[in-house]
Each structure stands twice: as structure tokens, then as C-alpha cells.
């Protein structure tokens, strides 16, 4: 039903449907070509942003984050973690919202609900990039993966939100190497190590890495080996943790 409403009608319904002053932003991480990527919406000729949304009046926060992901990117059933809430006074960006709306031919009065101050709760999601075909919503021109080390121009404080998500994701790895959620379901230890080092930002000695990972009990060695590679064929592993 939602999709049949015009954007203008959706805007008008917002104050009725959502809690005021509270938004969500989702940093969706993927991994390919040995690089950590983030999924961004293109909302203007040269303007990008994180998929974000609001909290329905009768909906929990985590539920709202899941719905936002689904509505804005098509993404379902992924690891999703709250990491930080952004609430500085200077993160008020009515101009950025107006830019975005104008790109869609929309205008709102200056006292409109959507132009008020928002405190935004940040979530990060971990995605097996090759298993998911992102779908942009009708507020966006397109959707696509961008290398975290080479981001385009982002609206509002979304660059800062990505940096913080990266930091929180990194800090969690020693405790539970959730970086494995970015890899295919079966992977070798060297493949895990490459992704881990990329996320953590430092090198680990190979045999020590394998020992540490296996000690976490999060990995199961499969009977299969990686075929078609030169030298000794490495065993495949599986990440036991679920979400």
C-alpha cells in the first residue's frame, strides 16, 4: 500500500506515522576485490547518502532498522547491529534534506516535521555482497557499492557515521570475528585472514591468526578443500555463529 502513495502524500503522513526527532541510519558493509565496501544511495547528480529512515510509533528500534533496510535497499535477513547514536546539535541539516527533496521535485514548508532536529541511531549490517542484488527505493536515483577508502560526496554527517561504524565493527573483531559474515559461506583461512586484516587495519602472522581464530570456537573445519588452486589445497571453513 505504502508504495502506491505519492512521495508528497508520504511526506504529509510522516508526523502521524513516525516518532518525531528520531531517525535511523544504516551502514551496510560488503567485501569484494579485497576491499571493504559500503552501500550508498545516490540522491542527486553528485550526492550520496546512507539508507536511513524513521521509527513508527508502535515499532521497536531494531524492527524499524530492519524495515528501513528492506524498504530502501531490498535487503533482508542480515546481521544488523546498533553501534552509536548521533545527536550533536550541529548535525541538523535541513538544507541537505531540502536538496534531496528538490531533486525529487518536492517542496515542504520550512516548519515541516522532516526539517526539524533529528537524533540518529546508527546500525551496521554485514552482507555477502555477491548474494544480494540491491534495489533502490523511489526516493533514490540509484544504489551501489563504494569502497570505504574512496567515498563520494555524502550528505549530512554520513561520512562521520561510516567512519564510526567502521571503528565499532573493527573493535568487535577480537571478541567475535563477524567479518566472516562478509565472506561466502565456505572460505579458507587465508581468505578470512585477508578480510580480517582489511577490517582491523593491521597484519597478523599466518599461523598465529589460524590458531587464534580456531580458539574462538566460531569456526568449523569442513571436509572439503578449495580445489583448483596451485600448491597445497587449503581446507574450507564455515562460520558457526548465527544472528
Q: Which residues bind its own copies (CB under 8 A)?
A: 19-22, 55, 57-64, 82, 84-90, 117, 119, 121, 171, 174-175
Q: How far is CA 104 from CA 60, 101, 156, in A?
A: 29, 5, 18
The number of beta carbons lying within 10 Å of the beta carbon of residue 98 is: 17
Cβ proximity to its own copies: between 3 and 217 the closer is 217
The number of beta carbons lying within 10 Å of the beta carbon of residue 109 is: 7
Q: How far is the CB of 114 from its own copies (least distance, A)?
A: 15
Q: In whole angstroms, give the CA distance from residue 178 to residue 192.
A: 10
Cβ proximity to its own copies: between 18 and 187 the closer is 18
Q: Which three cell numbers stand for residue 195?
A: 578480510
Cβ proximity to its own copies: between 55 and 125 the closer is 55
Q: How far is the CB of 154 from its own copies (least distance, A)?
A: 21
Cα dihedral value 169, 191, 28, 130, nearest 10:
-170
CB 238 within 8 A of CB 184: no
Cβ proximity to its own copies: between 140 and 178 the closer is 178
Cβ proximity to its own copies: between 90 and 227 the closer is 90
Q: How far is the CB of 152 from its own copies (least distance, A)?
A: 27
Cβ proximity to its own copies: between 21 and 153 the closer is 21
CB 64 within 8 A of CB 17: no
Q: How far is the CB of 195 from its own copies (least distance, A)?
A: 21
For residue 64, with 0-12 CB atoms within 10 Å meaning exposed, 13-18 middle and 19 or more buried, which class applies? buried
Cβ proximity to its own copies: between 121 and 139 the closer is 121
Q: In whole angstroms, give the CA distance from residue 9 to residue 6.
A: 5
Q: In whole angstroms, give the CA distance from residue 182 to residue 197.
A: 13
Give me the phi and psi of 82, to 5 degrees please.
-70, 135
Q: How far is the CB of 62 from its own copies (least distance, A)?
A: 8
> Would strands 47-49 and 35-44 be described as parallel, antiparallel, or unpaired?
antiparallel
Amino acid at each position: 500500500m505504502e508504495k502506491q502513495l505519492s512521495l508528497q502524500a508520504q511526506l504529509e503522513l510522516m508526523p502521524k506515522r513516525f516518532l518525531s526527532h528520531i531517525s535511523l541510519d544504516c551502514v551496510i558493509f560488503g567485501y569484494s576485490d579485497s576491499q571493504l565496501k559500503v552501500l550508498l544511495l545516490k540522491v542527486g547528480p553528485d550526492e550520496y547518502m546512507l539508507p536511513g529512515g524513521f521509527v513508527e510509533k508502535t515499532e521497536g528500534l531494531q524492527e524499524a532498522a530492519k524495515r528501513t533496510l528492506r524498504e530502501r535497499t531490498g535487503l533482508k535477513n542480515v546481521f544488523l547491529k546498533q553501534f552509536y547514536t548521533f545527536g550533536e546539535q550541529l548535525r541538523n541539516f535541513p538544507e541537505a534534506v531540502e536538496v534531496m527533496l528538490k531533486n525529487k521535485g518536492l517542496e515542504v514548508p520550512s516548519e515541516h516535521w522532516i526539517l526539524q532536529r533529528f537524533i540518529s541511531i546508527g546500525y551496521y549490517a554485514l552482507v555477502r555482497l555477491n548474494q544480494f542484488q540491491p534495489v533502490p527505493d523511489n526516493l533514490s536515483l540509484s544504489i551501489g557499492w563504494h569502497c570505504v577508502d574512496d567515498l563520494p560526496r555524502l550528505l549530512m554527517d554520513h561520512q562521520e557515521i561510516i567512519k564510526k561504524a567502521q571503528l565499532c565493527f573493527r573493535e568487535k573483531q577480537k571478541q567475535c570475528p563477524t567479518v566472516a559474515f562478509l565472506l561466502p559461506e565456505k572460505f579458507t583461512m587465508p581468505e578470512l585472514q585477508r578480510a580480517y586484516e582489511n577490517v582491523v587495519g593491521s597484519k597478523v602472522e599466518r599461523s598465529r591468526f589460524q590458531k587464534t581464530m580456531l580458539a574462538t570456537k566460531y569456526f568449523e573445519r569442513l571436509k572439503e578443500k578449495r580445489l583448483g588452486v596451485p600448491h597445497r589445497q587449503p581446507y574450507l571453513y564455515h562460520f558457526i555463529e548465527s544472528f
